[in-house]
Chain A
Amino acid sequence: MKKKIFTEILAFVMAFTVFISSVYYLGYKYMPVRMNYGATWNMYVEEPENTIDVMFVGSSLAYCDIIPAIIYDQTGLTSYIIGAPNMNSGISYYYLKQALETQTPKLIMLEATTFCFPETSEKDSKINIGFMPWSLNRIAATFKVAAPKERLGLLFPLYNYHSRWGDYSFNAVFSPRADSITDIWAGYTFIDVTTKQEAVKERKYDTKGKDFKENMKYLEKIIKLCDDKGIELELFIVPSCNYVSEETTELIRKNAGNTKLTRFNDNFEDLNFDLEKNFRDPLHLNFSGAEIFTRTMAEHITDNYSITPSKKAPELWKERVENYITNSQEFEFKEK
């Protein structure tokens, strides 16, 4: 009888383990390959540990506008962009917490438009949280940022992606994911599309609703997190043709306390953008625009912070600079 019960328990435990492992393994395998436009966590975890000097955090305004290879080329500082589409401050907080598990940057540059974004939409949660590595941060983001009806798919990715089984051969299921490699762009998303901009104007954001209040709570948490880790934090707002208003910027600045906030639209003229060539759309820069802005950003960092480059993973960074130079030389505008 004892033997029978033991066999039953053993078989149950084994079956349960195989079941759970299969569910999570297949869920991970069937997730779409993600190599740009943010939430590229599978690539981030491949980055050699503790090699990043400066961490950029933000939405598409960060990962479309800053090219880490230029910063390295210009200053010797290694940097990486952690971001996700329409990333609000809740996601920014958990992304930052997760990113700091494997990297120890000296400076964090946080794109502050993140504090103007509303609640994460269903589609964005699926990407923004769904691609995070399994950790307490992911679980916390699932329960604190995602809407209740999205949680099941975030906790069990197979729920969201099981219908993709037909796209994979048997061998593909057991091969490494295509995005399990280091990111040659270090988080940047290459954009060669150009749209001509007619004017530079203010963009309205709702700062009176509960979303903005919630965002300010996360701003406090982010400041505390950086304080606790002894990392310098600066907020910045990228230059764009639809810029965040002075009023909204001041509101964020007020809530940020002693944390510095730089709005690059204040020096828009000095950046010498070509409105016909440097923008993907009113909000985002294209590759040529990102080149211009990143050079300014590199100067900004060296002017304001005395960070000694760690000079870690030089081969990888050499490859990244070469990749940037090649793309820069071969860059051709594509009119949208």
Chain B
Amino acid sequence: MNFNSLEYLLFLPTVLILYFLLPKPIKNPMLLAASFFFYMCWEPKYALLMLLSIVLTYLCGIFTEKEFAGRKKLWLVLCLITNLGILFFFKYFNFCTDTLSRVFSLFGTKQALPTLNVLLPVGISFYTFQALGYAIDVYRGDIKAEKNFIDYALFVSFFPQLVAGPIERTSNIIPQLKKSHKFRFTNLRDGFLLIIWGMMKKVLIADTLAIVVNVAYNDPHNYNGIQLAFATLCFSFQIYCDFSAYSDIARGSARIMNVELMRNFDFPYGAQSIKDFWRRWHISLSTWFKDYLYFPLGGSRVSKIRRCLNLMIVFLVSGLWHGAAMTYVVWGFLHGIYQVIGMLALPLKQKLYSKICKDNPVLSALRIAGTFILVNIAWILFRANSLSDAFGIFKKILLIPVNEYKLDLPVFGLSNSTLFIMFISVAVLILIDRANRNKPIAKIINNTVWLKYAVYLIILLSILLFGYYGPGFDPQSFVYFQF
């Protein structure tokens, strides 16, 4: 069940009505049942896999806390091995055998390794990381093990953030789930605005941009450098709108139930460095890696070389988390390199900035533009269907100054009016995102009755009029579902 489907439009109000009508003891069991139903709409049998992960981490959490059989670490290791084992089996097994086969073929040996014909369970990376975060927190003594199985199972499977995050922390969610929430108009209002804003980003912007991106990236040989650069630019906004839309709809859906999920994006394309970008992009994953991988590796309190190595490890793992393909690994590697260079060049940069006023708007604009270009270069690897495609695209884009290319937008199959709406929408999105950093726009909108309804109207009509939906359209799944 996609957020941008009619089924969800029926599912969410039904769950909300039940949630507010049912007495407190039944609220969470109902939410748990609804969450499993939501998940089973994709592939019912994979709900068993999620249940297995929930049961394992739940028991390991209790055993770790009680140091059952006098082995605290054993239970954590067991939890990590089983959860990561399941993740590896479904997500990385074929990737590993394929990579090994390639390595063998490099040495002239043709070794047929077994491959699995299984579908990747939706959201497995998200709920596995959420569950692992819980197990580590219990091991560290940061939180107490959750005794109530229903509450714990709901924490892992809470439908708004189940399949594409935000990857939540136990300390944030479980206390909220334990409270009894009454219906509040302000929550409905705030949540509704987040949901329709997310829908607009997905249906109007991301899915329209996806047409350009898919056309160019699925057949890059037929497009010139400028067209591929344009498609990459489109992809940067497609993936942002797509992913942040999911987070917005998730946050909005939870907000109506008075559950506050963490903010996953903070105007990432306004970042002034790659480090800054990762503070604003997929915040829940970045902080997860920081807390559960980077810090345990020593973080920044180690030698410079070790710190560089730690950064590379984190970003390689991040790349691999995104997908079992070399393109993602190289994408992670490139971001690692960016970070390492950024860290090594920091003293030089600080020296330079001390000479120029740090708040110089021209300097800020240049830094934003530079970061945006670096991120876009990396997006080529993220989106390309293979490494050879990615390098072909790089080559064509690099040759733009040499060859006289024309953009020729109609080749992407979109009308001029659609392209115009697309540009306007992206411009509005950037302006709102930027303004949102200084003052929460939603608060301003929601506090003025007439403005609020005018905004609702504009957003809803824009979605219905210009959105990518209906017969003859192929509704795009959220990009991050595949991870």
Contact = CB atoms under 8 A, between A and B. Distances in A.
A26 B465 contact: yes
B471 A153 contact: yes
B449 interface: yes
B418 A162 contact: no
A8 interface: yes
B466 A159 contact: no
Interface stretch (B236-244, B302-310, B452-460): B452-460
B471 A11 contact: no
Contact of A19 (B452, B460, B471): B460
Contacts of A159: 469-471
A158 B465 contact: yes
B416 to A, nearest CB: 8
A152 B5 CA distance: 12
A57 B450 CA distance: 50
Interface residues on A, range: 20 to 34
B424 to A, nearest CB: 14
A12 B466 CA distance: 23
Nearest to B473: A163
B417 A166 contact: yes
Interface string A1-37: 0001001100110110011001100100000000000
A160 interface: yes
A66 B418 CA distance: 43
B461 A15 contact: no
Contacts of B467: 162
Contacts of B466: 162, 165
Contact of A18 (B415, B457, B470): B457
A163 B208 CA distance: 12
Interface string B4-21: 001000000000000000
A75 B470 CA distance: 48
A326 to B, nearest CB: 39
A153 B417 contact: no
Nearest to A156: B464
A243 B473 CA distance: 39
B470 A153 contact: yes
Scoring A26, A122, A163, A166 by chain B CB atoms within 10 A of each residue's CB, the highest score goes to: A163
B23 interface: no
B347 interface: no
Interface in A147-184: 152-153, 158-160, 162-163, 165-166
A165 B421 CA distance: 11
Contacts of B461: 19, 22-23
A4 B185 CA distance: 13
B465 A162 contact: yes
A318 to B, nearest CB: 43
A152 B6 CA distance: 10
Interface string B277-307: 0000000000000000000000000000000
Contact of B471 (A4, A18, A160): A160
Contact of A15 (B453, B464, B472): B453
Nearest to B455: A15
A162 to B, nearest CB: 6
Nearest to A10: B449
Interface in B427-461: 449-450, 452-454, 456-457, 460-461
Nearest to B454: A15
Contact of A162 (B449, B454, B464): B464
A268 B466 CA distance: 54
A103 B450 CA distance: 46
A178 B461 CA distance: 25
A249 B449 CA distance: 66
Scoring B6, B461, B467, B473 by chain A CB atoms within 10 A of each residue's CB, the highest score goes to: B461
A11 B450 contact: yes
Contacts of B6: 152
Contacts of A12: 453
B contact face: mostly helix, strand, loop, or mixed = helix
A153 B457 CA distance: 21
A166 B208 CA distance: 14
Contacts of B450: 11
Nearest to B467: A162
A286 B108 CA distance: 72
A165 B471 contact: no
A287 B165 CA distance: 64
Contacts of B457: 15, 18-19
A158 B471 CA distance: 11
A162 B470 contact: yes
Contact of A11 (B415, B418, B449, B464): B449
Given A12-B453, A14-B453, A15-B456, A166 B464 contact: no
B412 to A, nearest CB: 15
A152 B472 CA distance: 14
Scoring A11, A14, A159 by chain B CB atoms within 10 A of each residue's CB, the highest score goes to: A11
B66 to A, nearest CB: 52
B449 A166 contact: no
Contacts of B418: 166
A14 B456 CA distance: 12
A189 to B, nearest CB: 25
A13 to B, nearest CB: 10
Contact of B470 (A22, A26, A160): A160
Interface in A271-287: none
B264 to A, nearest CB: 29
A23 B449 contact: no
Contact of B472 (A4, A14, A19, A163): A163
Contacts of A22: 461
Nearest to A163: B470
Nearest to B6: A152
A166 B417 CA distance: 6
Nearest to B470: A159
B415 A166 contact: yes
Nearest to B452: A11
Contacts of B456: 15
B471 A23 contact: no
Interface in B402-423: 415, 417-418
B453 A23 contact: no
A163 B456 CA distance: 21
A165 B465 contact: yes
Contacts of B469: 159, 162
Scoring B457, B469, B473 by chain A CB atoms within 10 A of each residue's CB, the highest score goes to: B457
A12 B415 CA distance: 35
Given A23-B461, A158-B464, A166-B418, 14 more contacts: A7-B449, A8-B449, A11-B449, A12-B453, A15-B453, A18-B457, A19-B461, A22-B461, A153-B471, A159-B469, A160-B471, A162-B465, A165-B417, A165-B465
13 contacts: A4-B449, A8-B449, A15-B454, A23-B461, A23-B464, A153-B470, A153-B471, A159-B469, A162-B465, A165-B417, A165-B465, A166-B415, A166-B418
